[in-house]
Amino acid sequence: GQQVMQIPQYQHVQEGEDFTTYCNSSTTLSNIQWYKQRPGGHPVFLIQLVKSGEVKKQKRLTFQFGEAKKNSSLHITATQTTDVGTYFCATSNTGNQFYFGTGTSLTVIP
Amino acid sequence: GAVVSQHPSWVICKSGTSVKIECRSLDFQATTMFWYRQFPKQSLMLMATSNEGSKATYEQGVEKDKFLINHASLTLSTLTVTSAHPEDSSFYICSARDRRSGNTIYFGEGSWLTVV
């Protein structure tokens, strides 16, 4: 399967601070999806990016797809305790299998 | 919104027995479902792609005779862990693609399997 690396693996922030996780691939990606998994829960779809340089926003979350379509980022402005969880990027190949990145576990300290 | 139901949520079985996990798309038809395995604090690892009416496509390193997948209808895929061993204990989670909503993927709630 496709190798998609995510950094950092863990991130602890004070409530109100910003948070960013990065997803990197050595190959060009046709698309990138982002998911959030709360502790003990299942992944929940957040967004999909398909265009080079695409930027999408969902309230305090900003998603970006790199110009070369080899990397992506998720940025959260002014984190809240409800943002706690693991954020995964995922990508699909021509066979439509989805492969997940290694994930970034976010802890928000009140 | 679309819902994918997975059953059972928790299961404990003895070594050597087989366990079946069901994945149902409740309000949409899913020609393709995916089965993942997740170890604690790790990412989801794709095990196989379940195709309705045909054989599943297994990822490299996944034993197809160990993890039997049946996608008998457009709303149901099953994963059977055969002759389970303690090392098969894990969180198994399925997902299904809803073509109506631009191929959005919805995940089931997951199934915790403990083999004793």
- As given in the structure block, the two tokens for residue A55 are 């930027």
pLDDT band at residue B115 using 50, 70 and 90 as cut-offs:
very high
Per-residue model confidence as pLDDT tens digits over A40-80: 888 898 999 999 999 999 999 999 999 999 999 999 999 99
Residues of B in contact with A100 (CB under 8 A): 36, 43-46
CA distances for B15 relative to A26, A92, B11, B82, B91, angstroms: 41, 35, 13, 10, 17
Task: Report percent pLDDT > 90 for chain A.
Answer: 76
Average pLDDT over residues B49-54: 85
pLDDT at A106 over 60: yes
Question: Residue B18 phi/psi, 5° resolution?
Answer: -110, 150
CA-nearest residue to A105 within chain B is B41
CA-nearest residue to B93 within chain A is A42
